[in-house]
Homo-oligomer: A and B are copies of this chain.
Amino acid sequence: MSVDRTKLLLDTVKRLLRRDATVHLHKIVNKTHAADLAVVFQFLTLREQEALFDLLDGVDQKAMLFSELEQEIFQNLTENMPAEKIAEILEQTPTDDAADLLGKLPDERAKALLDLMAKEDSEEVEELLGYDTETAGGIMVPEFIALKEETTAREAIEALQKEYVDVEMPFYLYVVDDHGNLVGVISLRQLVVVRPETMLKSIMTTDLVSVQTDMDQEEVARIVARYNILAVPVVDENNKLVGIVTVDDVIDIIREEATEDILKMAGAGEDLIESQSLLRSTRIRLPWLMASWIGGVIAFFIIGHFENSLNKLIYLAAFIPIIMGMGGNIGTQSSTIVVRGLATGVLDIKQIWNVVLKELVTGAILGFIYGLLLGMVVHIRYDMWLLGVTVGLAVISSMTIAALVGSLVPMVFARINIDPAVATGPFVTTSIDILSVFFYFQIATLLLHI
């Protein structure tokens, strides 16, 4: 559904809510895809959300909506609902989504709901809650099709008809040995084209990709993306198959990680939630600006230190913006290329010196071009060639340093396992500002003998 169609749906729902047109609303909410309904919910008041939710027929429909809702909306919506009713719906919600929702609730509340759920379902959710949320274990679903090597194609298809009705991604059948260890995989497609009596072991692929429960979700996403697979099996430390990560969750991870990186680089938090209150969004952005503030105060003292030079040649002040601006912009270019390169796997931390050297040279070349240009403009305008040389050199130094700092810092952070995106935003920009200003005045003082 396109943006326009979602907007149309929202408008229709709001109009019907105002008119209390229950019959019409009932029809709409029950035929709308849960993913679209979840978007509509973002723009409704709690009362309106509750009214729509009650119109959903059956627990299955409600469970599908649960799995699509934002955490905050889920929490508000269920606050005044009887716990038994919530538990009943959660039993039908895909295990990974139920675990996500419960994992972010206050511990007591989550425990109370788990106690009310059917034992089988709550156990599965609790198992998932035992893993780190950002690892393969935290994003997998524990429902999958696992059959023995001696199973025939006919028996496998029968198993699909009787058991495994809940499985989210029923297109791969995993083959396990007597200990539950993963030994092979067969696609449903292969299964239907062989003779019914064929044993799985004779057609399964044994050279298969799997991941361990503790693998970082970004790495899992990279594997699924690289091998173009629809689901990757997750095994524990003994190679026992414990779950699968499906491609739809991988898409969400790739999106979230990209958003997270972009926001972190700008020092604007990690999550892009439009509903974030003014106060909350202010609080998230406040600390990052502190880096910039402190940097500015330091730059102030640096310039104060060169007060004599400034007094003698007031023009110097007017070049501060261009020298800071050129450094800041090329620094952002360099760090962006490095951060994104590391995130997508195009760059490797082992190449640290290659990358930094390349950026340094690029910075120097671009610095030379723009420094020369500025120097010439200054010389023509003021007929002071030494001033021209000074600002030209300052641009070269600022841009070279910026490219160096902008590429080196994220590389080093990645090497010592700190998220390079965090390092890159205000921190790098501020360092570059300070260094640019300092070298500028140093060069001016030396060259102009002031």
Contacts and interface: CB of A to CB of B under 8 A. Distances in A.
Interface of A: 1-3, 7, 31, 33, 35-36, 157, 160-161, 170-171, 188-189, 191-193, 207, 219, 223-230, 247-248, 250-252, 254-255, 258-259, 261-263, 265-268, 272-274, 278, 281-282, 285-286, 288-289, 292-293, 295-297, 299-301, 303-304, 307, 310-311, 314-326, 328-330, 332-333, 335-337, 339-341, 344-348, 350, 358, 361-362, 365-366, 369-370, 373-374, 377, 425-426, 429-430, 433, 437
A82 B274 CA distance: 56
A340 B330 CA distance: 22
Given A255-B254, A314-B311, A340 B262 contact: yes
Which 8 residue pairs across A and B have the least CB separation, nearest first?
A: A296-B322, A317-B317, A258-B258, A299-B321, A266-B336, A303-B318, A228-B248, A268-B333
Contact of A347 (B224, B248, B274, B282): B274
Contacts of A36: 226
A251 B254 contact: yes
A437 B192 CA distance: 71
Given A35-B227, A189-B170, A347-B274, A289 B329 contact: yes
8 contacts: A1-B226, A3-B348, A188-B192, A250-B251, A263-B340, A268-B336, A272-B341, A289-B326
A329 B290 CA distance: 10
Contacts of A328: 292, 328, 429
B2 A285 contact: no
Given A188-B192, A230-B247, A310-B314, A293 B332 contact: no
A1 B223 contact: yes
Contacts of A1: 223, 226
A93 to B, nearest CB: 14
A333 B374 CA distance: 30
Contacts of A303: 317-318, 320-321
Contacts of A377: 297
B365 A282 contact: yes
Q: In the complex, which of the residues A7, A252, A261, A365 has the most CB atoms of chain B within 10 Å of its own CB atom?
A: A365
A333 B303 CA distance: 27
Given A161-B193, A330-B289, A296 B325 contact: yes
Contacts of A35: 226-228
A58 to B, nearest CB: 17
A192 B230 contact: no
Contacts of A262: 258, 261-262, 265, 336, 339-340
Contacts of A425: 329, 332
A318 B226 CA distance: 52
A318 B326 CA distance: 18
A374 B192 contact: no
